[in-house]
Amino acid sequence: MQPGLGVGDLFRLALASGREDVRRQLIETVLESLDEAFEAIAQRVGGDAVPDTVIARTAVEPVLAAIAYSRVKGARRIRVIASSEPVEGWGPLNTLLEVLAAERIVDVYRVPLQPSTRLHVKEVVRRVARITRGFSARVVDVTDAPAYAVAGLYSAGVRVLTVLVDAGYAALFQKFSFTL
pLDDT in tens, 10-47: 999 999 999 999 999 999 999 999 999 999 999 999 99
| Percentage of residues of the chain with pLDDT beyond 90 | 78
Cα(41)–Cα(35) distance, integer angstroms: 10
Cα(26)–Cα(23) distance, integer angstroms: 5
Distances (CA, A) of 135 to 13, 71, 73: 33, 20, 21
Q: Which long-range contacts (CB under 8 A, 24 or more apart) does 96-103 make?
A: 96/27, 96/30, 96/31, 96/60, 96/63, 96/64, 97/63, 99/31, 100/63, 100/67, 103/34
Cα(162)–Cα(138) distance, integer angstroms: 11
Examine the pLDDT at 64 and tell me if it is beyond 90: yes
Q: Give CA angle at 110 (31, 177), nearest 5°.
A: 95
End-to-end CA distance of the chain: 47
pTM: 0.92
- Domain positions in the chain are 7-134
Cα(62)–Cα(9) distance, integer angstroms: 15
Examine the pLDDT at 136 and tell me if it is beyond 90: no
Which residues, at least 6 apart from 22, have a Cβ–Cβ distance to it below 8 Å? 2, 10, 13, 14
Cα(33)–Cα(150) distance, integer angstroms: 33
Examine the pLDDT at 142 and tell me if it is beyond 70: yes
